[in-house]
C-alpha cells in the first residue's frame, strides 16, 4: 500500500500578499485560507478535499490551482472483510480494511460547520507522537473538530496520541481507532450534545472517550475491545462542578474494564441500553474533584446515576 504523505503544517507569510508556500507546505483544501502559490520549482498538487501540497515540479509564476486530478502513485484498496463499510453507522464488530493511508505532520482541523468524509482512508501522523499513557494534549491529536464539525468514514492509525478533539459539539460517524493510545476522542463542549455513531476502537489501556466539557455525549452502535473504560467524565478537571450526561446504546464491548465512569457528586448520569459487555463492570461512581485524584464511591448500576436497561454479558 503506497502512502500519501501530507504536511499538515502550513506557513502563511502575512508580510506580503504575493507570499509563496515553501516546499512541501499546504497550498489548498477546504477551509484553507493561505497562499496557493508555491516557491519556484514546486507546484500545488491536489491530494484530497482537505489538502493540496507543494510538490516538486514545474516552477509556478502565478497562483497554482489545485485540481481533482492527481499524478500521485498512491493506490487504494477496498475492504474485503465486511467491516465498517463507508457511509454506515450501523453496529459492526469487524474492523475495516483501510482504502489507503494519509500521513500528516500535525493535527488536521475541521472548521466549524464543515464535514470530512475520509472514504475509509487511514489517517495517521507521519512520525509517532503516541507516548502510551504519558499525558499529551490537543496538538498530539489526529483531528481537531471545531464546534458543529462532522467527521465520517475514517480509520485512525497508531502513531497519533489523542485521536479526535472536539472543541464544541461534534458528530463522529463510522470512525475506527486501530490503537487508541491516550484517548480516542475528547469532548470539550460547554453544553449541547456530541454524537458518536457507529465505528469502533481497540487497545485503550485507559479511556476511549474522555468528557472534559459539559452537556451530553451520545454513543450508539459502537464496538470496543481491549479497553480500560469506554467513557470517563473528567474526574479532576479544574472547571469541574456541573453535571455531565452520557448515553450508551447498542454497544458491544469485549475484554475490557468499566463501561462508564461518572462523578455522582456533580450530578453526572449514564444510561446504558441494549448493550453487551462480556467482562468488566457497567459503571463506576466517583466523587469528582478540581485537583488531585477523584475517589471511587461504588460500582453500579444504582438505578439513579447509572441506569442499565436490556443489557447482557454474552456477546
Q: What is the pLDDT of residue 66?
A: 28
Q: Is the pLDDT of residue 193 over 90?
A: yes
pLDDT band at 34 (very low <50, low <70, confident <90, very high): confident
Q: What is the pLDDT of residue 14?
A: 32
Q: What is the mean pLDDT of the chain?
A: 84
| C-alpha–C-alpha distance, residues 55 and 141, integer Å | 25
Q: What is the pLDDT of residue 35?
A: 85
Asked: is 101-309 a CATH 1.20.120.420 domain? The reply is no
3-state secondary structure of 140: helix
Q: What is the pLDDT of residue 71?
A: 22
**Longest CA pairwise span in the chain (Å):** 69
Find how far residue 193's CA is from the centre of its chain.
Answer: 16
Beta bridge partners of 271: 247, 307
Q: Residue 22 is placed in which grid cell? A: 515553501
| C-alpha–C-alpha distance, residues 13 and 2, integer Å | 32
Q: Is the pTM of this model over 0.85?
A: no
Tens digits of per-residue pLDDT, 40-85?
887 887 766 666 767 667 543 333 232 222 222 222 233 333 455 5
In our burial notation (b when 16+ CB lie closer than 10 A, e otherwise), range 161-190 reads bbbbbbbbbbbbbbbbbbbbbbbbbbbbbe
The CA-based dihedral angle spanning residues 166, 169, 172, 178, taken in that order and rounded to the nearest 10 degrees: 20
CA 298, 302, 306, 309 torsion-angle sign: positive
Where do you find CATH 2.160.20.10 in the chain? 101-309
| C-alpha–C-alpha distance, residues 88 and 222, integer Å | 12
Q: Residue 196 is placed in which grid cell? A: 458518536
Amino acid at each position: 500500500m503506497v502512502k500519501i504523505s501530507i504536511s499538515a503544517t502550513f506557513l502563511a507569510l502575512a508580510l506580503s500578499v504575493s507570499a509563496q508556500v515553501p516546499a512541501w507546505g499546504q497550498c489548498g483544501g477546504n477551509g484553507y485560507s493561505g497562499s496557493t502559490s508555491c516557491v519556484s520549482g514546486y507546484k500545488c498538487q491536489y491530494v484530497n478535499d482537505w489538502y493540496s501540497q507543494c510538490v516538486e515540479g514545474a516552477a509556478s509564476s502565478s497562483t497554482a490551482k489545485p485540481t481533482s486530478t492527481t499524478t500521485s502513485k498512491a493506490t487504494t484498496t477496498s475492504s474485503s472483510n465486511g467491516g465498517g463499510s463507508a457511509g454506515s453507522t450501523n453496529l459492526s464488530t469487524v474492523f475495516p480494511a483501510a482504502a489507503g493511508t494519509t500521513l500528516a505532520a500535525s493535527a488536521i482541523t475541521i472548521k466549524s460547520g464543515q464535514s470530512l468524509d475520509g472514504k475509509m482512508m487511514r489517517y495517521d501522523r507521519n512520525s509517532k507522537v503516541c507516548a502510551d499513557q504519558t499525558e499529551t494534549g490537543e496538538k498530539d491529536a489526529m483531528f481537531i473538530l471545531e464546534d458543529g464539525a462532522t467527521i465520517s468514514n475514517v480509520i485512525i492509525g497508531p502513531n497519533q496520541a489523542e485521536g479526535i478533539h472536539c472543541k464544541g459539539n461534534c458528530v463522529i460517524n463510522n470512525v475506527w481507532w486501530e490503537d487508541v493510545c491516550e484517548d480516542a476522542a475528547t469532548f470539550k463542549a460547554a453544553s449541547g450534545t456530541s454524537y458518536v455513531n457507529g465505528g469502533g476502537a481497540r487497545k485503550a489501556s485507559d479511556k476511549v472517550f474522555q468528557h472534559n466539557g459539559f452537556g451530553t455525549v451520545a454513543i450508539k452502535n459502537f464496538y470496543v475491545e481491549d479497553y480500560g473504560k469506554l467513557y470517563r467524565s473528567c474526574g479532576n478537571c479544574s472547571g469541574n462542578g456541573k453535571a455531565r450526561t452520557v448515553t450508551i446504546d447498542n454497544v458491544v464491548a469485549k475484554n475490557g474494564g468499566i463501561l462508564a465512569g461518572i462523578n455522582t457528586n456533580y450530578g453526572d448520569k449514564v444510561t446504558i441500553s441494549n448493550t453487551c459487555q462480556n467482562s468488566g463492570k457497567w459503571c463506576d461512581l466517583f466523587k469528582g474533584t478540581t485537583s488531585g485524584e477523584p475517589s471511587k464511591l461504588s460500582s453500579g448500576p444504582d438505578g439513579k446515576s447509572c441506569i442499565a436497561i436490556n443489557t447482557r454479558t454474552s456477546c
